[in-house]
Amino acid sequence: MTRLSVNLNKIAVLRNSRGGVLPDVLEAARVAVAAGADGITVHPRPDLRHIHPADVTALAAMLDVEFNIEGNPFAGPNDQGYPGFLELVECVRPTQVTLVPDGEAQITSDHGFDVARDAGRLRPLIARLRAIGARVSLFVDAGSTWGAQIAALGAQRVEIYTGPYAQQRTAIDAAAALADCVRTAVDARAAGLSVNAGHDLDLHNLDALLAAAAPIAEVSIGHALINDALYAGLAHTVRRYLAICQAHE
């Protein structure tokens, strides 16, 4: 069964737009978990545009489900109160760390690692994360075949960047993009890695991905899920996504 990790970044965006504590990131996590979510995902960025380091610490203290922290492993501390990605992760020791090569100017993640280029920098960081007991996943582009190289670096999973698949508007284009996802999933599993997926997945495109690229260990979904929750309620929306995930072994 595919596990659903709910990304809470958008809850923090709403809170930060007004200041104060509402909407409450911790309460959103409680509702999602009570509705059956298998995990919680956050992506603390150096500019603090959404999730703050204090949110990460508070979530780690309260969660009894998988905690997945995404971010750029090369991001260091700054004068805005960001302690550095690795330093933050080592402080809270999450279940999973998903390494993403995003720059500070990006609105959202939009590409995976060039593993051949970054292998030398990634290897010691992956070892550092494994040493605290975290499972390590690398964000990769759909269609890439870095499985053997990623396994050699010590990571245990890949997360397929599904944005190009989700953004297609014709059946032909969607089929081609889906085939790229499948290619990367097959390659990763052949190297002994498990496969996660995420970015722009929603109630309309999730089922086809999970059916074609099975088995997918985990999907992390935030933007579309929170959008749906604005209209249908968070608990109900989490259950709708779970129903799709639980239909796939």
- Spatial CA neighbour of 96 closest among 21, 42, 30: 42
Taking the C-alpha atoms of residue 76 and residue 78, their distance in angstroms, rounded to an integer, is 7
Catalytic residues: 43, 70, 199
- Spatial CA neighbour of 142 closest among 119, 101, 110: 110
Q: Which residue has tokens 């659903």?
A: 4
For 45, how many CA atoms within 13 A lie in the half-sphere containing its CB? 18
Residue 155's contacts (CB-CB under 8 Å, 6 or more residues apart) are 99, 126, 136, 137, 138, 193
Q: Which residue has tokens 């498990």?
A: 194
User: What's the pLDDT score for residue 111?
Assistant: 81
User: Around Cβ 207, how many Cβ atoms within 10 Å?
Assistant: 15
CATH number of 3-246: 3.20.20.70
Per-residue pLDDT tens digits of the chain, which is 249 residues long: 999 999 999 999 999 999 999 999 999 999 999 999 999 999 999 999 999 999 999 999 999 999 999 999 999 999 989 999 999 999 999 999 999 998 776 667 668 899 999 999 999 999 999 999 999 999 999 999 999 999 999 999 999 999 999 999 889 999 999 999 999 999 999 999 999 999 999 999 999 999 999 999 999 999 999 999 999 999 999 999 999 999 997
Task: Please report, for the chain, the start and end positions of each structural domain, with discontinuous segments joined by +.
Answer: 3-246
